[in-house]
Each structure stands twice: as structure tokens, then as C-alpha cells.
Structure 1
Amino acid sequence: MLVARRIVWAWIVFAGVCAGGAFESRLVQIDQGPIRGYQDAESGVFVFSSIPYATAPTGKDKYKAPLPPPKWQEPYEAVDKGIVCPQFKSPFFEGKSMQEDCLITSVYVPDTDQKNLPVVVYIHGSGFQVGYGDQVTPKHLAKKNLIAVTFNHRLGVHGFLCLGTPTVPGNAGLKDQLAVLRWVKRNIASFGGNPDDITLAGYSAGSASLDLLLLSPAAKGLFQKAIPESGANVAVFTMQQNPIEKAILHARRISNFSKVDDIEALEDFYTTESYDNLCSVFYLNEFFNSDVGFTPCIERSVGEEIIIDEVPLNILKSGNFPKIPLLYGFANMEGIFRMSLFNVYKDRMNSKFSDFLPADLTFENEKQKEEVAEFVKDFYFQGKEIEEDMPSMLNFVDFFTDTMFGYPALRSVELQRLAGNKNIYLYSYSFVDVGGNSLQYKDYTTDKGATHCAQSFAIFDYRNMLTGEFVDENTLSDEFKQMKEVMRQVWYNFIATGNPVPEGSNLPSWPPMGADWSPHMSLGNQIKLEGSLMLERGRFWDQIYQKYYSLPKPPSPPVRHIEL
């Protein structure tokens, strides 16, 4: 049971909302009507929670783009209502209100009368399958004199079923993200924010989402800087390779659905099935090949606004996207999040390593696939059997670090650089809290590095990894408190200026990335500028992806079943 809870936990990223006290209130007029938020007792930040930024469509339209939000005359009490979108139920969502109309946002405003403050909008992680906007909160970051925004979006089947039909066009969750960016653009000045100085940030799947929005013409001009944290637009888990195949697989998994050649029947199944059944399977660790279930897709034109209608790799190569400043990176041991599966995976990896090759690679035949698998296994495990020992475990971590997070990030920023982006600030986060309660599974990593999205957890208000409870940051080790302060200052600098280390800072100078992923900032127990990031491992995967990468495809044109 503990292993299962950890598997869910590694992806939902500390579900729960801080229940800090509130005293003073503030009334703000937005385009929907007046709203009242309250000051958080611990941080002093004013919090406006559970504001509807759009309305989720229902019935047969539930997979379409969001509708306009409600309006009101009397002040809307913007307090936490515990609303989360339909998703796989886990113990971490006990006490939450899981509901279809779930498109809400929270705004964190510092206690100041200043106007035109910089704004950061955060997209939550959790593999596109689970989670909610305030599963982590940015009160301490907002104290730096910026406005922070979090929000819910549709998830899993509800957010990313993609049939390519007018009823189920795909990417509803990304369209929610687009809707909240437009809401922020319209309303953030009322909170004291600058609608022309917005940074889009995200962690894990949220990072992959924003990396897609960077390439979308629909999102152009809605943000001016971006902070992708441990997730990339070309990652194996970001785009569905075959959306119709995935829809059929899921329908078969949760019911006795058998009309696999009838798009009308498939559409009818998904528009009438209950959310309890639709969300009854948790896919995040279901597949050896790092696929994660329902995720964004390449859309077909069905007469409505499209988020992504071209393969991200092709857009990056074309250079046809805005070249905005990026603070881009990942933790040095992202693969730690899969260590709870080590004993489940190791025997299969020894007998058939090819099952673990990323899902976005394709081969001419089984022989070629096995040859590539042996090549990869030799690179990471030096031809040795994978055993329950520290060398095997660390190599296991490196493999999943590279295939899911590290290499896709390096690939994406390299294509950005080649397209002319001269303002990419690359980093690797490796801080280990040797003095206290760290964000690593210490049983597996000793003192060697940081787990998936650890840099994001350093930015946000701190939660205990296993309980999900917020922790008084005064109780943290001196080393971790200092690291959190450094990280928040670096992030604030970038959000406010587009430069993580502006002139006059006491941190090492941080120039933009050039060739060979160099330089990069090592954000560890020591902060230092270093040369190439993961060069050997990055070039190793370059040679594989140049030969075997399989472009994600839009859903095939629907073939309607005709009764004779």
C-alpha cells in the first residue's frame, strides 16, 4: 500500500491546500463582478481562491473548449472551496470537492499598494492525469513583490481525449490553460499586476504544457517569459502517439467496448460514460515505455480554435514561434520518482530491456529494436545484470532521468537556440538537504542528488513529502531555508527582469546558454556556473532519436459506421 501511495504521490506532487488563518480582506473588481479575498496570517499575502475563470461544458459537449465564466453582482467570497477536476481518486484528495465544473483560479497578491507588479502563472504537474492548481502554493514567492496565479484544468480523459471530431476535438485541458491566460490578461491589473509582464511557469506536465503553449499561435502575446521546470514539449509523455488507439484501449479497459471500427460508437461511449468509470484507471506508471495515458495531441481541424496542429519538433525546427526569455532546467536525478518501482522493473529490464525504450521510438522490426535496446542497456548498465545494489539503482535513476526529462529538455532548448533564441538560461538542480527533511528518497540516493521537480518544491511553500501537510519553514534546516531563499530570489529576478542573476547580485554571473548546452548553472549545495550539461548522455540520445524518432500523429479522419 505504501508503494502504491508513493507512486501516486510522486506525480500528484503533494496534493492539499494550506489552511493558513485569514484576517484582513480586500475587495477587487474584475470583469465578472466584485470579489473579496483574505490575508493569509502566516505570509501576509492576500489570497483570492476558487475564482471561476471559465465554465466547463457538460453533457455531450464536455470535451469541447471551455465556455465563458459566470458573472455576479454581490461580492464573490474568494475562499478555498476545495474544488478539483474529475480524476483518479486517491487518499490524497479526501475532503476535496471533485466536480465537473472545476475551472477555478487562485490569485496571490502581496500586501502592497504598488501597481504593475510582475505576474507569474503556474501550471500544475501530475502527468496530465491528476492534481489541482493549489496542490502547491506560492505564498512565499508572492512575498517577493509579485503576483502569482494557480488554477485547475481538465485532466486525463476529461482533458485530453482526442477523437478529432467536432464533439471530441482534443486538448480540452490545454484550452482551459489558454482560457486562464486570457482571464489573467483581462483581469490581473485589478489586483495590481501588469498584464504585459506575465511569466508562464510550470512543473512536470505543467512544464510540458507551457512548452507546448510556447509554440501555439493561439497563445501568442499572452506571456512574455517562461520557466519550464522538469518537462518538455518533445518529451515521450507529452504527446499522444496514436490518440484513437489510446481511446480504444481505455474503452476496452473500463468496459466491454468492442466497436473499435465505429467512431460514432466510440464517441457515444465517451460522452455518456460516468466520470467514476472514465477515471477508474491510473495510467501514470502503467506502461514500461514511459507513456502515461491521456495527454495532449496533434489536433485535426474541425472548425474550432486549435492549440497545436503540428508536431512540436517540426515547429521548433521551423523557428516559427516567439523567442522569449526562458529559465529552463531539471533536477539532476529526476528518475528517483520511479525508484518505488525498481524491484518491479529490474527483472523485466534484465529479460527484455526493449520494453523500456521510450514509446516515441519506432523500429523496422523486432531485431532492430532488440539491438538498440542492447546498445542502450550497455550504455547505462555496462553490460551487467541489474541487481538490488547502489550502482544498479543509480544507473536506473539515470536512465529514467534522461529518457523522460533530461534529454527531452536538452533537445528542446537546443532547437530553440538553433532557431535564434539567445535568452535561454539553463540549470540543473541538485540540492540535497543533508541537514534535515529533504525531498529525496534517501534510502536510494544517499547524498547524490534531487528528485523529480525538487526545484519546484524549493520555490513553493513547503510540504512534507509523505504526509502532504504544510510545514512551518522556520523548522527546516538552515541549509534548506537558505536554498529556498536563493531559489525564490533567482526565480523572482527572472520573473521581474528576464535575467535570473541581474547585475549587482551576489550570485555567480549567469550568461545565456550557447552550443553544447553550455554554460549552465548548477543549483546545488554550492551554486556555481559550469560548462556543458549532461553532454555525453545528451549526444548519446541524439544519435538514437535522429534515427528512430516517431512523430506523434493527429487522430485519423473519422470513418463513420453506416447501417445497411
Structure 2
Amino acid sequence: MLARCVFVCLFVAVLGCRSNSHEKPGKTNGSPKTVSSEDPITMTPSGTIRGSWMRTRRGRQFQAYRGIRYAEPPVGELRFQPPKPILQYQGVVDASKEGPACPLPAPPTYYVDEDCLTINVYTPNNNSTKPLPVIFFIHAGGFYSMTGRSDLAGPHYLLDRDVVLVTINYRLATLGFLSTGDALAPGNNGMKDQVVALRWVQKNIRAFGGDPGLITITGCSAGSISVMLHMVSPMSKGLFHRGISMSASPTGKESSRYDMYDLAVKQAEILNCPSNSSAAIISCLRTKSFKELGDSLPKFFDQFGFDPVGLWMPVVEREFGQERFLVKDPAESIKAGEMYAVPHMISQTTDEFFWKAFPVLKNQTLLDTMNNEWERVAPISFQMSPNISSENKLKLRQAYFGDKTLANDDVSTKALGRLYGDSIIGFPVHVMANLMCRHSPQKVFYYEFAHVGNHSHYEAPTTKKPVGAAHHDDLIYLFTLSYRFPTIEVSDTLDSKLVDKMTAIWYNFAKYGDPNPVNASQPELSNLRWPPMTSDVRQYLRIGGDFSVHEKMFENRFKVWEEIYPQDY
């Protein structure tokens, strides 16, 4: 089962051994090491940090500071607790090598450790007289996989621009999102990790050449959800100045939950812990190794095939005297104007989770089950409440399949793939964009990523070629994803031009709060005329072989969802 889950980039069990260093991140010593004159050094308010050198795909040399601890190791008594920030380092921090991934399934050679609350900073010049805009990237992975390491969020494209790039790790799955809804585990520790990392950036980024007053938080999938939640969290207010949300949203269907008690019970059962109370669950889980917790992830996917894609989510925290990350359902906060509004770029890809149709339609048992047990399966696969009415389940089936019984053919493949994509990503993102363009006083820019290049997160098994613009595919043109894809060479005219376009869009947005070109010095954006989205004129940009502006993205498809989940925009 795990191998199939890796297929969507939700796990990292196929990361291989490209970066196997087992040196502890952010290691400090009582006395400084001998420092080579070639090593970059920066003096931050928190202490001295030594990095290393890297080069972009165009040959520009830049400084890399990797694996810096921003919080105390969340181990022992700090497991399942909010992060404890590190305010001062003793000695010189060695940030010259890659830090670990947070616990998750991975090969034995891949560096995984519970002591994983680390931050990476990449800068073209730590002594820049004019501070550079900062891009803060929150990695994808459903809140249970992936990392901020450079093999999954490589800086080699964006650092051809005058920006400082920050990537982070945050705790995942049970270690980061255990929520029993009581004082023992109110939830959101993984989100609070992100907040502490943002506070670290505010304090220290000027020492890397970055502007603490010009920080853009960005993210894809779970990272996209995170970006939106930071806009409504009281903990994050004032820590950033623009937001980019790619392919996911916390709004659209059911309201946010107050706990994930069912997942706490399931984790306990998987590891043979008592599950009769939150105290018993947490006490027992503290005794388990991080490897037992991380490696148990595949056992959560046993309801129908490999569904649902989403498991852990941030929750609305009940009040127990703690600093709360989320105090209200995000849609309600947006509508009430209770958010830290900043210029916002929102996107989805043309085909998102279309590939999810293949394992169902090509497996006769799963195909028969989906056809014959639609009432049971639909809420699981399409991430809806199990209490959704039979009438609405039938309405959804009729809208996507008509009177047709699903079969292993092209018609069913297209219809089921579209349903997966719309339910998991498309409709929630549609709701977020429509809420934000109505209630935010800042500009909202909406885009569809439609480019099908040389590589994709889904490539046909026979041809090894992309067949659509899948979930995560716009990341291919913003970051080097060396765990899976080759670097896009400058000579690769098709994809290289898109790297230039995407990084220019991010640079403009990070610097000016608007992706459009500001002068003639950006020929890659010479034909970009991207209007902001408004409630009356719901325009969006399609990024394909070129740029084109359209209206009402996929709104005909989303009508059935708005009937099932009426929206008061």
C-alpha cells in the first residue's frame, strides 16, 4: 500500500539516499570550530551561524544555511507540547549540512529524527544594503508527509531572483496534530511550529539580507491550507505581508472540527496502546519511539483503497488557558473581517487529483465496491461528512457520472478523476477565492496552472510522460525537486521559459504585492496582464504555454457542490 501512496507524493518512501548526512541539525559547540575562509558566516541576534555555498541553475553563487533549530527538540516531556523557541545559540551553529525530516515512513538511509524543528535560509547576499523580499515556504504533504529539506524544496530556481528563501520543517501526523479536544492535547502543535519559525524569521532574517517587513508566506496543498489559516490566526498576525495559496483550502465543505479524537484512538490501537481516555492514549504514545509513530502512517489508510487523501487537519482550539492558533472556523473569520488581510495569490491546477481514478477503475474489487456501495464510499473518497444525505450523494453521482455505471474506460476515467480533483481541491479553493475577493480589502489574484511539460507528479506508466497538469505540478517550476525530477536546464526551452515566468511572478508578488511586471526589464512577463479577482468580475489567469485571462473558473462544475454545501459568500 505504501508504494502506491508514494505515487502521489504524499509520502517520501521513495526519496532514496540523495542526502544521507546524519549530523545533527543546528549543532552547537562550546568553542567555535575551525571555520574555512570559504564558508559563509552570518551574525544574527540569536547567534553566529555558519553555512555553505550553492549555485543556481544559471550559475549564480548563493549562501545556504540549513538545518538550523528554531525550537527545542520536541522530545521527551516536550512531545505533544507546543514548541519551545530557541532564543539564543551557544557557540557557532553549524548549518552547512542538511537537517533531518520529521518522522514519517522513509528508507533507512534517509535522515529522519524527532529533533526536526529546523529552518533553512538561502540568500544571494547576507550583507545586502537594501533588504531583499523574503519568501517563506511551507511544504505540502497532507500534514503527514514531505519535508522542507532541499531535495523537496530546492532553492536553485528562485535564488536566480533577488529574494531570500526560507523553508521549514514542522511536526507531522500524530506528533504534530494530535488533538483530543481537551487540555491534554488541544491541537495544532504543527501549526504552532510554523508560527515559531515565522517569529524566528522576524527576529533574524535581516542578518541574512532579508527584509522582516516584506515576508511572503507560501505553500502548496497542506502548505496552502496553512497560509490561509495564518491569515485568520491571532498567533500569526503581523508576521507576514503577502500570501500564496496553491491547490488547497480549509474552506468549502464542513466546518472545522474541534478535535481529531478518532485519529488519536486509531493511533493508539495501531501501536497497541489503551484508548479508553485521552490521558491513557497520550501517556502510552509518549513511550513509543518516533520511528514507531512515523512508520505507522500507512495503517491509517484502510477505509477504501488509499482514501481519504486528507486525514489530520488543524482544529479550532477550545480554551484551556493556552495560546490558541485557531479560535474560530476560518470561513466565519473571513466573513466577519477577523483576519490579517494581505495581498493573496490563489491557485489550482487543471487536473489536480485526476490520477486517483486509475487505482479504483483498474482494480475490479474497488470498482465494484464504488459502484455497489456508493452510499458508504462517497463520503470517504470525496472527503465529506458521513452524515451527508443520501439525496446529496445521489446528486453528486448524477452530476459527474449521469446514469452511467463506472467502468474501466475513458469516460469513467475522466469523470471520476474530475470528481476526485473537485472534491479534494477544486471546490474548497473556489470557495476560498470567492470569500477572499469579497471580504479582503487587499487584492486577490487567482490562477489555473494548465501547463503540461516534460515531467509531472503523475506520468503514465507505459509512456513515462505527463498526461495532465496534476496536483503539485506548478512546484516543478519554482523549486528543484531533486528527490524525483531532474533540474530543468536553461537549454530546455519549453520548461525553462516557464521557470523564468513563475519565478518572476513570485518575485514581483513578494516585492510589490502584485505579480504584474513593473517595467520592461522582465521580458518573460511582457505579455502578462493579470487583473485581480472581484466578486462581480471573477477573472483568473491561465498559465499554460502562455498567459491568458478568463472568467469564472470551473464554476459550472461547482454548482452541484454549492447545492450540497450552500455558500453565503
TM-score over 0.5 for the pair: yes
- Rounded to whole Å, the distance in 1 between the matches of 2:539 and 2:8 is 35
> SS at the partner of 1:272?
coil
Q: Do residues 327 (structure 1) and 345 (structure 2) align?
A: yes
2:401 equivalent in structure 1 = 381
1:340-419 mapped onto 2 (5 Å cutoff): 341-342=359-360, 343-344=362-363, 345-354=366-375, 355-357=377-379, 358-361=382-385, 363=387, 369-419=389-439
1:558 equivalent in structure 2 = none
- Rounded to whole Å, the distance in 1 between the matches of 2:101 and 2:481 is 21
Equivalent pairs: percent with the same residue?
27
Q: Do residues 108 (structure 1) and 126 (structure 2) align?
A: no
Shift of 1:320: 0.9
> SS at the partner of 2:39?
strand
**Which structure carries more helix by proportion?**
1
2:506 equivalent in structure 1 = 491
Larger mean Cα displacement after TM superposition, 262-271 or 221-230:
262-271
- Rounded to whole Å, the distance in 1 between the matches of 2:497 and 2:333 is 40
Q: Do residues 248 (structure 1) and 262 (structure 2) align?
A: no
Shift of 1:405: 0.7
Shift of 1:538: 2.2
Shift of 1:303: 1.3
- Rounded to whole Å, the distance in 2 between the matches of 1:334 and 1:444 is 21
Q: Do residues 530 (structure 1) and 550 (structure 2) align?
A: yes
> SS at the partner of 1:299?
coil
1:116 corresponds to which letter in structure 2?
Answer: P
User: TM-score, structure 1 length as denominator?
Assistant: 0.87
Q: Structure 1 residues 496, 70: CA separation in 2 closer, same or farther (over 3 Å shift)?
A: closer
- Rounded to whole Å, the distance in 2 between the matches of 1:16 and 1:119 is 30
Q: Deviations over 1:265-322 (max 9, x none)?
A: 2332233333333331326754456363332111111211110021122212212112
1:282 equivalent in structure 2 = 298
Q: Do residues 264 (structure 1) and 279 (structure 2) align?
A: yes
Work out which of the residue numbers 332, 336, 345 in structure 2 matches 1:314.
Answer: 332
8 Å CA contact 2:15–2:110 kept in 1: the answer is no
- Rounded to whole Å, the distance in 2 between the matches of 1:416 and 1:90 is 38
Shift of 1:142: 2.0
Shift of 1:353: 2.2
Q: Give 5+ residue unaligned stretches, structure 1.
A: 549-564
2:31 equivalent in structure 1 = none
Runs of 4 or more, structure 1, over 4 Å off, are: 10-20, 235-242, 283-289, 443-448
8 Å CA contact 1:23–1:38 kept in 2: the answer is no
Larger mean Cα displacement after TM superposition, 187-196 or 421-430:
421-430
Shift of 1:212: 0.9
Paired residues, number:
532
Shift of 1:132: 1.2
2:243 equivalent in structure 1 = 226
Shift of 1:443: 5.5
8 Å CA contact 1:422–1:513 kept in 2: the answer is no
2:473 equivalent in structure 1 = 454
8 Å CA contact 2:99–2:116 kept in 1: the answer is no
Shift of 1:489: 1.1
1:29 corresponds to which letter in structure 2?
Answer: M
User: TM-score, structure 2 length as denominator?
Assistant: 0.86
Work out which of the residue numbers 516, 540, 546 in structure 2 matches 1:501.
Answer: 516
Q: Do residues 95 (structure 1) and 103 (structure 2) align?
A: no
> SS at the partner of 1:25?
coil
1:74 equivalent in structure 2 = 91
1:114-263 mapped onto 2 (5 Å cutoff): 114=128, 115-134=130-149, 135-234=152-251, 240=257, 242-255=259-272, 257-259=274-276, 262-263=277-278
8 Å CA contact 1:227–1:328 kept in 2: the answer is yes
8 Å CA contact 1:7–1:340 kept in 2: the answer is no
> SS at the partner of 1:536?
helix
Q: Structure 1 residues 112, 507: CA separation in 2 closer, same or farther (over 3 Å shift)?
A: farther
2:554 corresponds to which letter in structure 1?
Answer: M
Q: Deviations over 1:35-87 (max 9, x none)?
A: 11121145412111011111133324311111122744432221224411122
Shift of 1:370: 2.7
8 Å CA contact 2:275–2:281 kept in 1: the answer is no
Q: Do residues 53 (structure 1) and 70 (structure 2) align?
A: yes
8 Å CA contact 1:108–1:142 kept in 2: the answer is yes
How big is the alpha-carbon RMSD for the aligned residues of Structure 1 and Structure 2?
Answer: 2.9
2:472 corresponds to which letter in structure 1?
Answer: C
- Rounded to whole Å, the distance in 2 between the matches of 1:248 and 1:322 is 35
Work out which of the residue numbers 426, 431, 441 in structure 1 matches 2:451.
Answer: 431
Q: Structure 1 residues 103, 273: CA separation in 2 closer, same or farther (over 3 Å shift)?
A: same
Q: Do residues 474 (structure 1) and 489 (structure 2) align?
A: yes
1:186 corresponds to which letter in structure 2?
Answer: K
Q: Give 5+ residue unaligned stretches, structure 2.
A: 21-35, 520-524
8 Å CA contact 2:187–2:259 kept in 1: the answer is no
Q: Deviations over 1:127-164 (max 9, x none)?
A: 11112112221231022000000011100000000123
- Rounded to whole Å, the distance in 1 between the matches of 2:110 and 2:254 is 27
- Rounded to whole Å, the distance in 2 between the matches of 1:325 and 1:523 is 20
Shift of 1:19: 6.5
1:449 corresponds to which letter in structure 2?
Answer: G
